[in-house]
Amino acid sequence: MAANESNPTLKMNNETTTCPVRPFAKFLPSIWGDRFLSFSFDKSELKALGKAIEEPKEDVRRSLNSHNIALMIHTSKTQASLQQFIYKKLMAANESNPTLKMNNETTTCPVRPFAKFLPSIWGDRFLSFSFDKSELKALGKAIEEPKEDVRRLILNTAMDPNEKLKLIYSVYRLGLTYLFAEEIDDQVDKIFKEVNMDDYAEPDLYTVSTNFQVFRLHGYKLSCDVFNKFKDYRSGQFMANVTTDNMRAILSFYESAQLRIRGEYILDEASEFSESQLKGVVDTLEEKLARKVKHALISPFHRGLQMVEARLYFSNYEEEFSMYNSLQNLANAHFRYLQLLQKEELHNMTKWGKDMEFHIITPYSRDRKPELYLWTLAMYMEPHYSQGRMVTSKIAQFVTVLDDTYDAYATIEELRLLTNAINRWDNSAMEQLPDNILPIYEVFRKEFTEFERLFIEGSTNRVDALKKAFQELARGYHQEAEWRHSGHIPSFQEYLKNGLSTSTYKVFSISSLMGMEENVSKEALSWYETHPKILEALQIIGRLHNDVSTFEFENERAQQQVTSVDAYMKTFGVPTNVAVDELKEMIENAWKDINEGCLKPTEVSMELLSPIVNLARMTDVVYKFTDNFTFPEKTIKEYITMLFISSIPM
């Protein structure tokens, strides 16, 4: 081929012969090679499988002939593998011809609120992960030496306070604070007690913004008045002097504004000002700085998924911590340690989901196991919460199945029976459930029994509280289904009261206790009963963010789901755009309440508050612009790839 391209005239048998010019195409070789030569076959097994098909095939044939499709689902173990086919038949029947002839009588096929969810983009990819325990152990040892070096840096009494706060800021951004919790709290407390507002008359905007973030992130309420010096006293506006040189300061100022609470109007202004300035110059910046600004405008780090934000900070902001080799080495080893541990957890979660046969029991439900694990990881990423992450990942799967059953599959009659069964939570409730709903209830009860066994040593009160929250969630979903069935749009107040439950975040907050000490859990359960403001703020963010990002999708479905947008429009007589803007303002105010709930003195420990803040962060990531959970092809796919697939540079 090379000869044909370069020299068509060749010497053959001592004679000059013109080589024919051929229309070659450079086709790629087979991607399979000889892979299929290695297959081995057992004729007797093939024959046995052929026989095994016959009996269930005839059962299916009889059921199809009678069009009694719904009752076929899960009637016997041998028919389970055919359920996805049956589901498609049922869905086609529901869409095209709800009236079917059954046993020579005209019967109306139940109308189901189907939603056409996309399949998982991952398949069984995470089942094939392999693990090396010795590597995890080696990485654990590799962390120790740089960790002690960083500890000494944090405790260094000779370091300038501003430099100390910048160091602590980098430790926080890299996700390492939990390794030095006591030391950092002592240092921040000491520096804060020595703060004098006059000290902030001279420092630049970057230093003031960084210090402000450190204090607020660790629960210390440094006054927002420190930013007054950056205003023009005549116009009352922030001084607009934006160049590439001080872009880092504007970016830090923007991040500071995300920590505001109610009544801090200067930070409301700061948010608008800095966002406007960043948007105005982002397209003129050099590549790396532009990348930082673009990401911050999409997801400020305070509202981002902390594991992802830590990785991005490590890659994009090395100039802020590269002077500390020990911190760089610690962060790198720590990332690799977490990735290995979390890949194992994701593998186990994926295997559990496959073993539970959700794809057979609930083929209509969203298959999002990696995305659910990511959600749980967002709540708490520290290694010692491993057991809590596994339990909460399972709860997240149950919540998804419950949500999709109420919202995208079951009839109203079936939902009334299921709600009653979940609230009774006993064996006798199983008798009333139809065959297509019964397996869901059985899975729920079986796994909750396993949770009770797992936490048998004085911790069953957590499981009881989790069960009650799960029952409350089912009642909330049922109420939404009744509204949908009757075509009723409730008042906004009525909707939001129910929506606090259907946000699912009471369930997840209680589930997070599974990874904590018993004394912490007792404190939390008592606190939850007081209906704390910060938990309600989280529930508002969860419910309203979800609705604002999905209401257009819901309105396109045959059986329209009522959302807060619909309820707000009806109650206040406003158009869609006004309702959406008002709900977004409520979300911003809820964020301010969350920020305030983390300022000292807090009602409970930060160990309890952190999962609440992190759930709000994950909600912002998933629902800020669209429904990235139902449609995870972009942001969530990128995050999962970054955390569990892409290697970490040494």
The domain 161-325 is placed in CATH, from the list 3.40.640.10, 2.60.40.10, 1.50.10.130, 1.10.10.10, at: 1.50.10.130
What mean pLDDT value characterizes the chain?
Answer: 86
58 confidence band (pLDDT: 50, 70, 90):
low
What integer is the mean pLDDT of 566-576? 97
User: For residue range 488-544, what is the model confidence (pLDDT) as tens digits?
Assistant: 999 999 999 999 999 999 999 999 998 888 777 778 889 998 999 999 999 999 999
Helix (H) / strand (E) element for 84: namely helix 83-96
Task: Note whether 161-325 and 357-645 share their fold.
Answer: no
Q: Report angle CA 322, 138, 185 to the nearest 5 degrees.
A: 50
Name the residue ranges covered by the structural domains of the chain.
161-325, 357-645
Q: What is the pLDDT of residue 253?
A: 96
User: For residue range 357-400, what is the model confidence (pLDDT) as tens digits?
Assistant: 999 999 999 999 999 999 999 999 999 999 999 999 999 999 99
- Among the residues of 155-257, which ranges form H helices? 161-173, 181-193, 205-217, 247-257
> Are the C-beta atoms of residues 533 and 507 closer than 8 Å to each other?
no
Lowest mean pLDDT among 130-139, 223-232, 413-422, 550-559: 550-559
User: For residue range 221-263, what is the model confidence (pLDDT) as tens digits?
Assistant: 999 999 998 998 888 889 876 555 689 999 999 999 999 999 9
Q: What is the pLDDT of residue 20?
A: 53
Superfamily of domain 357-645: Farnesyl Diphosphate Synthase (1.10.600.10)
- Provide the token pair at 292: 């930082």
Share of the chain above pLDDT 70, in %: 82
Whether 158 shows a pLDDT value over 80: the answer reads yes
Q: How many whole angstroms from its chain centre is CA 153? A: 34
Whether 60 shows a pLDDT value over 70: the answer reads no
Q: Report which of 332, 280, 335 is spatially closest to residue 307, judged by C-alpha positions.
A: 335
Name all contacts of 247-252 with Cβ < 8 Å and 24+ positions apart: 247/278, 247/281, 247/285, 247/289, 247/293, 248/206, 249/204, 249/205, 249/206, 249/209, 250/205, 250/274, 250/277, 250/278, 251/278, 251/292, 251/293, 251/296, 252/205, 252/206, 252/209, 252/210, 252/213
Q: What is the pLDDT of residue 109?
A: 59
Cβ neighbors of 294 (< 8 A, separation 6 or more) are: 282
Whether 131 shows a pLDDT value over 60: the answer reads yes
448 confidence band (pLDDT: 50, 70, 90):
very high
Task: Measure the CA–CA gap between 382 and 202, rounded to whole angstroms.
Answer: 38
Whether 24 shows a pLDDT value over 60: the answer reads no
What integer is the mean pLDDT of 309-335? 96
93 confidence band (pLDDT: 50, 70, 90):
very low
- Is the pTM above the cut of 0.95? no
Number of alpha carbons in the 13 Å side-chain half-sphere of residue 561: 26
User: For residue range 67-83, what is the model confidence (pLDDT) as tens digits?
Assistant: 443 334 344 333 444 44
Beta bridge partners of 11: 16
Whether 41 shows a pLDDT value over 70: the answer reads no
